[in-house]
Amino acid sequence: MRSGALVLLSAAFLICGGASCVQSTKITQEYINAPVNLTMSLVGTQTYQVSFFSDNREGNFGGYGIFTGNSAAALNTAIDDMPVDISAAQAFCTIGAQATYGTRVAIQIGPAAAGVAAGTALCDITTLTLTSGSYIALRARVERTSRAWSAAAIVQVP
């Protein structure tokens, strides 16, 4: 009887590859989906429209943060190194419920932003002025105490 149990234990060890069957105790946060296929176009004097596909079905989804910089590399901060605070973004588009999954959506940025009124944008950000040649990163945000931002979707301002 002992040899039968030993054979079963040995077989389980070989099938599992030794220690690889041990459950990891490392706890990771739920992944946050970044905006998909980000594009940007000029829609008025110093006013731009950022368009993308929304893929955010995460619990406590809060909206999108807009980060600006002089290069794509400067905006490509690793998720683990991002400050959790919402004020890390130069502007924020609050979205209470994510009903736009899988559809192309837009955010207008600039002093003449009026996409919401026209029904073409999730929100208008009139307090941020962009400079041609600079870059923006759009990151999705989930309200939680760590790893609150998605990876960056980056585009150059035309």
- Mean pLDDT value across the chain: 83
What integer is the mean pLDDT of 86-113?
87
Instruction: Check whether 7 has a pLDDT greater than 50.
Output: no
114: Cα within 13 Å, side-chain hemisphere = 6
Instruction: Check whether 16 has a pLDDT greater than 80.
Output: no
| Overall size of the chain counted in residues | 158
pLDDT by residue (tens digit) across 125-152?
999 999 999 999 999 999 988 899 999 9
The domain segmentation of the chain, as residue ranges, is 36-156
User: Which one-letter DSSP state was computed for residue 33?
Assistant: P
Strands 104-109 and 47-53: antiparallel
Q: Which CATH architecture has domain 36-156?
A: Sandwich (2.60)
| Residue 95 banded pLDDT, cuts 50, 70, 90 | confident
pTM of the model: 0.78
Residue 46 sits at φ, ψ, to 5 deg, of 55, 25
* Residues in Cβ contact with 151 at an 8 Å cutoff, skipping those fewer than 6 apart: 34, 79, 139
